Structure 1
Amino acid sequence: MRRPSLTVLVGTHTLESHSIEHFLMRKCRGTIVAINDQGQLFSNPHSTMALPLECRAESDEEEEAWLWGQIQAEARRDAESEPALASYLYSTILSHSSLQRSLSFHLGNKLCSSTLLSTLLYDLFLNAFSSDASLRAAVVADLRAARVRDPACVSFSHCLLNYKGFLACQAHRVAHKLWNQQRRPLALALHSRISDVFSVDIHPAARIGKGILFDHATGVVIGETATIGNNCSILHHVTLGGTGKVGGDRHPKVGDGVLIGAGATILGNVKIGDGAKIGAGSVVLIDVPPRTTAVGNPARLVGGKEKPAKNEDVPGESMDHTSFISEWSDYII
């Protein structure tokens, strides 16, 4: 019987491959997934577990519509298999006509208080998402990031409903939009609720790209003038903070495709280059060049300052936390 052809995604690149064997012969690096011609995804080409993940959309709108169909199908499946969740899944997903309406409803109920009503927040979120295509595209990219990079993410609906890092990031995007519209008291009130509910503290002025994974997310702190590029992954208890400077541009600038390990602290107006990796627990006080790995307290470049070792993949997509250890002998006890 003919084996299904594969579409292979390597980082942000797409390759065509006629078989799993052909795919394995390609010396590809980066985040790798294989999708057969039935639209099923294999996170490992050897695996027999297939997931309907891939979409061949011509536009952001088509991709959003496809993803929303997947989320609804997952919710119907889960409501049938677990009747105790049927009412919850109906109210949060199945009763809504679009992803933005579902997300706005869910965020409104998560972040409301006795004086900040869920209906007010629903209207606030829905107006922001409905009027800004870039926000909707970021939502889709963030859902995909969680589904592909995190093996604990069992479905898109699981991320939408339960991933507080994803929810905090989407709420922040709206707070940032309000901040830029000079509606700063409301942006700061929303920031406070995000911090209270999700234990994620992102100043509403901070700029964040798309394709972001806040994995676990508890204790993440991101300062006012910080920026984060696209396709980054940030673990729990990460701080992008200042050094005590009274004002001005005083927080880190994180490039595209960066991975920041759990408990890492990056302080000051320093640049973390595209494709860099920051090891767990590191304290970074100086610039980190693109495609290098910084580890330790204070952080040092793996391979040395003069000729640092270069990352061969995109750490923010591959989620490879430990490949540098063999070259890190100076630090190993």
Structure 2
Amino acid sequence: MSFQPKFEVVVSQSEIWSLLRSAAEEAARAEPHLGSLLNATVLSHGDLAAALSFQIARKIGDNELAAMSVREVCTDAFTADPTIVAAAEADLQAVAERDPAIRSLLQPFLYFKGFQALQASRVGHWLWSQGRETLAFHFQSRISELFQIDIHPGARLGSGLFLDHGTGIVIGETAVVGDDVSMLHNVTLGGTGAERGDRHPKIGKGVLLGAGAKVLGNIVVGDYAKVASGSVVLKPVPSGCTVAGVPARLVNCPTGAEPARTMDHTLADVVFDFSI
């Protein structure tokens, strides 16, 4: 028996909030035990920004930093920089397009730690940009404890990102992640030692990073490249190419139009033996 997905791909970001509300309403009817949760997190709010600030606060608030304080910080961030909420909309759209397991937008919003860690990290980055480093580090610590995803608040993250599963992802302070990137669990964007300064990878637009991929050092992974699962990348990767292995070598050029969107982790049947 073939599996038929229950969720149609989102057409535009303008639909995100209405689709999320509709999914919450349907879920509340189907599962009354979760009615209070769904009302508190989605249905009682007028827009995605309000719901998102509540959800982040609900998750990372603790005895040291109460949920109400976290929500106030999130609201300040969203007001000062509306692109944070726009990025969250794009991230939800990315999950809808790229995750075949999704049933509705309610799943990533309430339960997918990759999505939730991203949104809290965006607030942490805003704090970092305002010079509020101690609070930014507090956000990072809580995100790491809760979601097992460690993103330095100094890292610059694009929009339309998809952290599939999320567990074990590490992104260093001077890393840059472009728009529309997909990465799986245990990806590391790290340094090569104890050097200081600009020391972390720059990931281009539309890149696919497979499970367990390690990209180390201040190197560029070009737009629409693919890094195969388990690879260790120590040299720049040309745009549109696939690398694989330890250490990583070029195995296919061109890779394909948009590997992060297709989520195609396969390698070419013919492997080319040339180094990068």
TM-score (normalised: structure 2):
0.94
Cα distance, 1:72–1:215 mapped onto 2, change above 3 Å: same
Secondary structure of 1:266 counterpart: strand
Contact 2:170 2:187 in 1 (8 A): yes
For the aligned residues, what is the CA RMSD? 1.6
Secondary structure of 1:326 counterpart: coil
Pick from 124, 131, 138: which aligns with 1:175? Answer: 124
Cα distance, 1:52–1:311 mapped onto 2, change above 3 Å: closer
Quote the offset at 1:48 in angstroms. 9.4
* Count, aligned residues: 270
Structure (1 or 2) with the larger CA radius of gyration = 1
Structure 2, unpaired ranges of 5+: none
Q: Does 1:126 align with 2:102?
A: no
Q: What does residue range 67-78 of structure 1 map to in structure 2 within 5 Å? A: 67-78=16-27
Pick from 222, 241, 244: which aligns with 1:292? Answer: 241
Q: Does 1:115 align with 2:64?
A: yes
Residue in structure 2 matched with residue 320 of structure 1 by the alignment:
264
Matching residue's letter, 2:242: T
Q: Does 1:186 align with 2:135?
A: yes
Matching residue's letter, 1:316: A
Cα distance, 1:128–1:50 mapped onto 2, change above 3 Å: closer
Residue in structure 1 matched with residue 10 of structure 2 by the alignment:
53
Quote the offset at 1:329 in angstroms. 8.2
Matching residue's letter, 2:198: D
Matching residue's letter, 1:146: V
TM-score (normalised: structure 1):
0.78
Residue in structure 2 matched with residue 98 of structure 1 by the alignment:
47
Matching residue's letter, 1:51: E
Matching residue's letter, 1:326: D
Matching residue's letter, 2:42: I
Distance 2:123 2:5 in 1: 40
Cα distance, 1:321–1:48 mapped onto 2, change above 3 Å: closer
Secondary structure of 1:54 counterpart: coil
Distance 2:129 2:29 in 1: 43
Q: What does residue range 1-333 of structure 1 map to in structure 2 within 5 Å? A: 51=8, 53-55=10-12, 63-64=13-14, 66-303=15-252, 309-322=253-266, 324-328=267-271
Distance 1:248 1:216 in 2: 30
Off by >3 Å, runs of 4+ in structure 1: 47-50
Distance 2:230 2:7 in 1: 35
Contact 2:9 2:96 in 1 (8 A): no
Deviation by residue 1:94-144 (Cα, 9 ceiling, x = unmatched): 111111111111110110111110000011112211332211110110000
Contact 1:100 1:130 in 2 (8 A): no
Structure 1, unpaired ranges of 5+: 1-46, 56-62, 304-308
Quote the offset at 1:50 in angstroms. 6.6
Secondary structure of 1:302 counterpart: strand
Deviation by residue 1:147-175 (Cα, 9 ceiling, x = unmatched): 11011121112111111101111111111
Secondary structure of 2:186 counterpart: coil
